[in-house]
Amino acid sequence: MKKIEARVQLIRYTGAPEELIASAAKLCYAEDTETIFDQKPEQAKKFVGMLRNMGHMSPIEHAVFTFYIEGVSRAMTHQLVRHRLASYSQRSQRYVTHGGFDYIIPPQLKGKKVKDKGADVDAERYFEETMEYLAERYVKLNEALGDKGESSNEDARYILPNACETKILMTMNARELLHFFGERLCMRAQWEIRGVADQMLMLVREVCPSVFDGVGPKCIRLGKCPEKKMTCGEFEKIKQRYAKLEGSGTIRKK
């Protein structure tokens, strides 16, 4: 058992995504379609940036990206799969035995103390001991159920915590990714999924900059925080950070 951190890989993506998006958009208005897929990279990049800034988003859906995400908690993937316009394949707790599972520790526990039996205990250590305790109980329950793999794992897993590490493959189109980043890069999103979203954004910016340059939380697109009373109060700092990433972005100037 060990505590680990999130790792994101961009496994596959649509080849020449900007050229495909440009072709898809131009097809809608083309009388002559013979050369519709003969798009020059630099021209396509500028054209796609223009499409995004104008809000013509449906052609962007043709570009698709597949990520392999590991070192994340079940709590995080429960949030991730709420983004329904995507495809997911996740490591099963039914088919895979999870004795001695790895786990994720919330960083907010660092430096905190837990009151236990009249003593102050380090919160991170207390968390680790809890994970070790649950792992031991999982093994014993699995043995009581016959330790038969799938047929015993499926009931023993009820004791596994949300902190349990998991691995998931996710495929999402570029338009849905823009929505995902808008929601999950927000400071009100939980730290773990926000960190994963940040890694994902850095990866897709490298291969499809005309769509993802300058992208950030939804406040960047709107030019202000829409959360009202729930605002993090850091809009100016966030704007400065994402302005540094802006290429063909959609930050509204004031």
d(CA 213, CA 48): 11
> Hey, what amino acid is at 242?
Y
Report the Cα–Cα distance between both ends of the chain, in Å, rounded.
51
- CA nearest 72: which of 142, 178, 180, 166? 166
Residues acting as catalytic residues: 184
Q: DSSP secondary structure string, 18-32? A: HHHHHHHHHHTT-S-
Written as six digits, the tokens of 214 are: 């300058």
Alpha-carbon torsion angle 44, 49, 54, 58, nearest 10: 60
108 token code pair = 């907010």
